[in-house]
Structure 1
Amino acid sequence: MNEETDCGDETIGQMLKRLRGDMSLRGVQRLSGISNAYLSQIEKGLRQPGPNVLRRLAALYGVGVQELLRKAGYLDSEGGEPEVDEATEVERAYQYVLSDPVFRVGTRPRGPLSIESKRFIVELYERYSGKRLLS
């Protein structure tokens, strides 16, 4: 799976799909703990992966995390640190929880929630699922 990582103008989603190769999305889910639905949305360009997701995928796909972070726009061309604030990280994790098919049934939040409320929901999800979404 360790192909040349940068193919011109491809998006981060296209790049991740190429790096995945013949592995199924469910296979990636089993090995990474990232839901196949979320991975599919990333590959189709519907969602932007967070730095933590990219770190897990880099390890799985055998590519440099810096390259994935740069392709996703988290690093400048000189490799500076990711510029993701806490609210953005919580929001991405919260959207991930909402996209999990296991949690699509039942009561859904109505109206806007505070970052603290979203963090609480994400932390409950992390405890229940065993997946780590927040750093």
Structure 2
Amino acid sequence: MASLNVGNLGEYLREQRRTAQLSLRQLADAAGVSNPYLSQIERGLRKPSAEVLQQVAKALRISAETLYVRAGILDAERDRDEVETRAVILADPTLTEAQKLALLQIYESFRKENGIGSDGRGHGDVDGADPRAQESDADPQQTAG
């Protein structure tokens, strides 16, 4: 399990800030953190808490989960696909906030239907068998003969 280093987080934050056309001071103000602290995060000198990352993500209008993975707070290998999918939805400038929320809810419902919980782990058989097939085998109404 490879964890990404804090330097990569800083580089990513700087890139996102520049893409959003925000100065360091503007982002610090919007996120409610000090300008010097944010500068240290961008330079890879500090590892911010999950709370600070959430504030910065909100100010940048990006997924906090993406920042958590880059900071090594979430397991990058297990959560990467889900985080990237959520990040793409949240970053789409053509969608309203309500539409983004609706898409995320639909996405999560499909994951649950397919036996994947919000923790990224399957709830079905370990070998990847279809959880619906397991459910129908256990259903007493369908086993009547």
TM-score (norm 2): 0.46
Q: Which has the larger Rg?
A: 2
Q: By percentage of residues, which structure has more helix?
A: 2
